[in-house]
Structure 1
Amino acid sequence: MRSYSSALAVLLAAMLTMGTQAGPSLPHLGDYPQGDPRRVGAAEPTTEEEAATQPEAPSALTLCPAQERVYRKSLLVTAFPRRGDASANGGGLQGAEQALPEWLAGRLANSGALFHHQTLNASLPMGSPAETAQQARQLARERQTQLVLTGALLDLGMARPKDLLNPDLITRGRNATVSTFGLNEEWDTRQRHFVLHLELLDGVTGNAVFRHEYRLRGVWNPKHPARARFGTPAFWETDYGEKVEQLLMEAGAHLEEAIRCQPLVARLNRAAPGSAPLLEAGRVQGLETGDRLPLHRVSLRQIPGEYRLYTAHLLASGATLTVVRAYAHSSEVKLEGDWALYGEHLAVAPGPGTQTASTGPPPTPSAEKPHAEAPETDAN
């Protein structure tokens, strides 16, 4: 009996080897790396044209220098819709659209980079980059957040869906042999793809401050398929779920670093005459009494040929604010100099790599009096 089992194992292993060398190969197998999202393919591009089409890998997890003062930001996380080949069939992964962003939001909330986050069950509607940026700005303003995290699931499909739904005897024996003897994982026909596109958008301009596409493949081998919905314990214990968790940990680390590298941006609320204006940031965000912050103006420019579609820009106004009194989530501030402010203004704390908010006395003003800003029509 023992010799019979050994012979059977050898025969099945030979069938596996022959199957990978003769006839059609497994669709798409070998296209996606496993675990490391900074690798974008199993092989290096061979031509300049192929190299140009490869997604740009995120930088190492030191995107900017460390900073003594920690400024914490607010984040809105939208749902991640399924696009293209992101089929949830063959495993019931329909809940991935909400489960994935909630997982990443929780990971970032525990990192210390945020003082507040919220999730949105809806996703950003598909459109042109300008439309996406404008929608992100509107959402950030409505939800009072500095950053917006959005994404899309591009592929959740099985490499060979027929083998999952109706496997024949040879396929079952092949996969059992791979699992039992720890053979080359690529010989297992239960390969499943995972492709996630992430974008971290600035809530003032709508521009992407971080963008990357993460890819992997793993074996979809749940012990209890009916229970293995996305994010359940039965899902995470699969080979595919373990690889997805590892990839999400790396994506979370990339996002945490990208958030840390952004300067703190806070809106200025000009109060009634006789009362101090308030800045929508305080001690929780990292500000202290005596901090001096440069003031920027929000400029909206209409896109030629587009109806009510604008680009947003932060322009240095030349004015500076001093924090007179810092509360938990707001600060009383004083405007230095004789400035006439028009339109929407925001204070921008220094980002990593620059000096922290200055707490010293203001510099001696020059003899020339600052020019008042020209009024600007509100494009909103």
Structure 2
Amino acid sequence: MDEALLRSLVPSVLGILVRGGADFAAAEDAVQGALAEALRVWPSGSSPNSASGPDAVRDMKGWLVTVAWRRFLDATRADAARRRRGNLVDEEPPPGPVPAVNDTLQLYFLCAHPSLTPSSAVALTLRAVGGLTTRQIARAYLVPEATMAQRISRAKRRVSGVGFDQPGDVATVLRVLYLIFNEGYSGDVDLAAEAIRLTRQLAAATDHPEVAALLALMLLQYARREERTEPDGSIAPFAEQDRGLWDTELIAEGVRILQGALARDQLGEYQAQAARAALHADAQSAKETDWAQIVERYDELARLTGSPVVRLNRAVAVGQADGPPAGPAALAELDTALPRHAAVAAYLHERDGDPATAARPHTEAAGKAANLAERDHLPRQAARLNTRRHR
């Protein structure tokens, strides 16, 4: 059984149940049960009727709708209070062919509802749209399964009264997907790959330049995933990565998608980010990077977002474009309390030929590092600079 294909059907199956009268929380549980049953009973590479191509997809979807609806009805009958609700009168799955309505976009909106915290929106999106199990999500985020189950249940309860046809905010959905992408790989799920799959699915459901741009950005960043770390798991500095090992097919696809988005002449945050990533991908080496254009992209991004973190990253590009002394000068305008300020300061002061000043913020940044790889990398850099200073 093609698990990725099966999980891609989850949004439309869930939409059919909700439109048929099931409340969202119960419908989502039923679809998860149907998905688990499908993975258990269908042999690898088969569909319910051993069909292939479009017929197989129709068979899978119809089978999932039937099994999920029956599971939902069984759960409803077991609850006397629910059994009294007047909108649940069908004792069998909705008759006739499987509806062709595509509820994917509405489901993305629901799972990224503004009433949810970012962590809850991420978890609900991975389960209700992505079709991942609670256990898979918990392992990916390194929390107990019971904790993740409570988080998802609370999120479902919070959005249970939200109308399925209410308009949503694409920008909020994109932030959730980018949060998923940035988690990378953990447990038995490659969350970056899952975020790309979900963003492709969203791009197929809506013609929006920022959705396309986020997909392009993810592809351009994912193209160098193998070179971001050394064999021992330590961080590989960007300038030292072997660009010959970057995935050129993903880069080409990302650039093509980005060009289509930019042609719409509706510049947004993710288009500016993807354009910057494309400039990096286009350079044969760090020295050959068009840093002046990189700074221009950061300027666009700063105007669009007003983010001080963007200005922090811009200082690095300024140091490359205008010479090493320009980097610390640009950094001096920013609040030292910003995340990663110390790490950026260390890098810029070292490039400016001041290892003594650079060593101190490396040590400080290590104490604020967000992950184990950084907590290992930054003290090494501080030790290297201190050794260089005392030679």
Range class of TM-score, shorter chain: under 0.3
Which of structures 1 and 2 has the bigger CA Rg?
1
Query: What's the TM-score, normalizing by structure 1?
Result: 0.20
Normalized per residue, the structure richer in strand is 1
Q: Which has the higher contact order (CA 8 A, sep 6+)?
A: 1
Normalized per residue, the structure richer in helix is 2
